[in-house]
A and B are shown apart, each in its own frame.
Chain A
Amino acid sequence: MNYLNYVIAAYAVFVIVLGWDFVSTKLQIRRELRGARLRAAREAARPGRDAELTR
């Protein structure tokens, strides 16, 4: 195959860019769910408004 280096470079660009698009989206979804889980844990640990104040 002639121009092999150019063909490999072009196909590598295609795979890398689409791969980045796939991985970055997966990580974003994971980050959002992790954030929601941590927020829920913080809110569960916080005492309620009507909780009695104690010394």
Chain B
Amino acid sequence: MNPIIRWFHKLGSPPYFDRFAARWAPWGYGLGLLVMAWGLYGALFQVPADYQQGDSFRILYIHVPSAWMSMAVFGLMAFYAAIALVWRIKLCEILAMACAPIGAAFTLITLLTGSIWGKPMWGTWWDWDPRLTTELILLFLYLGVIGLYNAIDDRRSAARAAGLLAIVGVALLPVIRWSVVWWNSLHQGQTISIFGESKMDPSMFAPLIWMVIGTKLWFVGALLSRARADNLRRESGKAWVAELAGGRRA
């Protein structure tokens, strides 16, 4: 058998996954923290103030990467949920459900930091603008997935029901993405483009890239840790968990 395919099969084993997650989650957290610290240093102390927004634009360095994460994590959750529904892979159910609280955290950061930026720039904490409203609906979808998963006793049925909600919810992602194009919006249009030309000055760009990489690395650590916790919860009656619990602590 192909060694990569064999490794994937092995990863599906709960004790093997526990060892894998326990080993690599601290690396995700550690590297994420390091890269974000470097990005935040640049964002706060190296880049010049914006000629119109002053220093309030520095909020962008946490708002934009969080907003991207809020959508990317939802897409990933739906992807895992689809695999879990089609092939009944337990690990994918666990990973899909582990995505929900992390994605909800990034969505909450997006909404709160956007609101804090909006007060001095727009003169209001909140507006029922298409971008803001759809992002709020995304938070409700995340909360719905978390709530549904915890409302059903049987873990596998719960994951399937919540996964279905995640798959349906994916339809919201393009609406969030293009809301500033489709409707007249108080929220500014697209400033940063990966493939095209960005409207942001190049001197302000580097810390944003570091923050985008840092939040992704942090997410890897958080995903592995949360999946490990759920894996232990599902396997709590098994001998390997008892052995692990008796041998060492988290």
Residue numbers of A with Cβ under 8 A of B are 1-4, 6-7, 9-11, 13-14, 17-18, 20-22, 24-26, 28-30, 32-37, 39-40
Q: Whole-angstrom distance between the alpha carbons of A1 and B59 in the complex?
A: 13
For window 212-240 of B, CB contacts with A under 8 Å fall at 218, 222, 225-226, 228-229, 232-233, 236-237
Residues of chain B lying within 8 A (CB to CB) of residue A28:
226, 229, 233
- Kindly state the interface size class of chain B when it binds its partner: 35 or more
Partner of A6, one of B29, B119, B225, B229: B119
8 pairs, A vs B, C-beta closer than 8 Å? A1-B55, A2-B55, A11-B40, A14-B113, A18-B105, A28-B233, A36-B245, A37-B242
> Would A21 and B116 be within 8 Å (CB), given that A29-B228, A37-B245 are in contact?
no
Residues of chain B lying within 8 A (CB to CB) of residue A13:
109, 112-113, 116
Between A1, A10, A28, the greatest number of chain B beta carbons within 10 A of the residue's beta carbon is seen for A10
Q: A-side binding surface: helix, strand, loop or mixed?
A: helix
Contact B109 A25 (CB under 8 A): no
Contact B242 A21 (CB under 8 A): no
**Given A7-B59, A18-B218, A36-B244, 17 more pairs with CB closer than 8 A:** A2-B49, A2-B54, A7-B44, A7-B58, A10-B62, A10-B116, A11-B44, A11-B59, A17-B108, A17-B109, A26-B225, A30-B249, A32-B232, A33-B241, A33-B244, A33-B249, A39-B237
> Would A29 and B232 be within 8 Å (CB), given that A21-B101, A22-B29, A39-B237 are in contact?
yes
Q: Whole-angstrom distance between the alpha carbons of A1 and B246 in the complex?
A: 53
B120 at the interface (CB under 8 A from A): yes
Contact B101 A26 (CB under 8 A): no
Of chain A, the residue at the smallest CB distance from B218 is A18
Q: B-side binding surface: helix, strand, loop or mixed?
A: helix
Residues of chain A lying within 8 A (CB to CB) of residue B63:
10
Contact B225 A9 (CB under 8 A): no
Of chain B, the residue at the smallest CB distance from A37 is B245
> Would A39 and B236 be within 8 Å (CB), given that A6-B120, A29-B250 are in contact?
yes
Between B58, B117, B250, the greatest number of chain A beta carbons within 10 A of the residue's beta carbon is seen for B250
